[in-house]
Amino acid sequence: MTTALLLTEEYIFARDLRPASAKTYLSSTKAMLAHFGTTPIEQIDHRSILAWRKEFLANGKAKRSWNTYSSHLRTVWKYAIKHEMLKHTTVNPFIETCVIPPKRPSKILDANLIQRSRNWLDTLEAQERCTNERSQVTPAWFWLAVFEVFYYTGIRLNALLHLRYKDVDLDKQMILIRGETEKTHREFSVPIMEGLAPHLKLILDKAKRAGFTPDDQLFNVNRFSMHYRGRVMTSDQVEAMYRKLTQKFGARITPHRFRHTLATDLMKEPDRNIHLTKNLLNHSNIATTMSYVEVDYSHMRTVLHERSVMQGALRRIRREDTSGASSRSHGTVRRLDRPTVKLPSSKALEEIAIAMELSTNPTLKQALNHVANYFGEIQEPQRDQEHPPAEMNTLAALMSSAIRRPSVASGYSSAELARPTKLSP
């Protein structure tokens, strides 16, 4: 008789899934069997799945947990239908059974939290080295190395557990991540950064003295401390250390959060490159990478400001003087902002004026002096100084030309500037 468990086992066998993935599929199937019991598989249709979903959520269970079950079982049924393992139907009962989950809390590790964690591990390492006494996380040098690997590379926990002694090449400054350890089943390499190199050298030196072979698990705390008895290091041991970090600082710290943090940090850089980030995290598609990147509103504000400056959206604001001071007249302009665009010097602006066939009358000379003062040729520019509209019109023309003709700032002579040329767009 065909059962849900049989279908799942057949799918796992056909896809050659990693143990962790197989465990997730089996967990989903067992949850289904716990609800339906001995109900024949032929009687499980779309409506009965929706009824299970309703009961599942009514019991206060998480929407994301339901979506995990729904997604995995939909995949199993799709495989079974394709290979004609189900004779009674060609309709997948798990289609359109997912729900919209609540927004995930931030998975980004604050830079200050990372530094405090690093400092704490540094302190524990120094204590162990000086006193030869066991610290809260021992050996501290080992767990500091693990911490730095996650910080600098963003690799998955499973990848760290499967790193072999021979996978770390200090000469080429590269770490090989084998395909069989990855969700994508693709082999790739990550560079060893300057801050990570000393930690890797330390663990390689200790591993060599301990008699490691090239194929031995490199990050195996059991072989570096007499306080552990296991043969290989497991995910439980790593997660136990990160639970201690979480308890110490009151904020959740996990290996996987370093991946989200790294992706977000890389996309903040001026030369942000989504393909570079995707390859470093070894994702199969950009959509997955983008789901790791969280919004940085401070960075968003900076980018929007740069856009407004570059497109000339920031203007000086005209307003009437209502202070009643006799030294101020109507129709003047007060500078309320200071543009961040760097303009040429007053000498270059004078050359522009000549090229534009503007007469060098007193008004122009006065305007050029205002430009020189305003853009930093004096130490303390007077921000509240007012300028008549006529001067501001001249300034506007000069600034516009300076931005449109950057060659002026490159040392062109006034004679060359005077030649008729087509202005760059």
Cα–Cα distance measured from residue 177 to residue 168, given in angstroms and rounded to the nearest whole number: 9
Active site residues: 156, 183, 256, 259, 283, 292
Other Cβ atoms less than 10 A from the Cβ of 120: the count is 20
How is 247-294 classified by DSSP, letter by letter?
A: HHHTS---HHHHHHHHHHHHTTSTT--HHHHHHHHT-SSHHHHHHHPP
Answer yes or no: are the C-beta atoms of 160 and 148 closer than 8 Å.
no
Task: Please state whether 185 falls in left (phi above 0), alpha (psi between -120 and 50) or beta.
Answer: left
Question: Can you say whether the dihedral through the CA atoms of 108, 113, 119, 124 is positive or negative?
Answer: negative
Please list, in sequence order, all residues whose beta carbon lies within 8 angstroms of the beta carbon of residue 148, skipping any fewer than 6 positions away: 118, 195, 196, 199
Say which residues have a Cβ less than 8 Å from residue 204's Cβ, sequence separation at least 6: 165, 168, 170, 218
Phi-psi region of 308 (alpha: psi -120 to 50; beta: other; left: phi over 0): alpha
Q: Phi and psi (nearest 5°) for 86?
A: -110, 115
Write out the two tokens for 214: 């090239």
Supply 291's token pair: 């789901």
The neighbour count for residue 284, using CB atoms within 10 Å, is 13
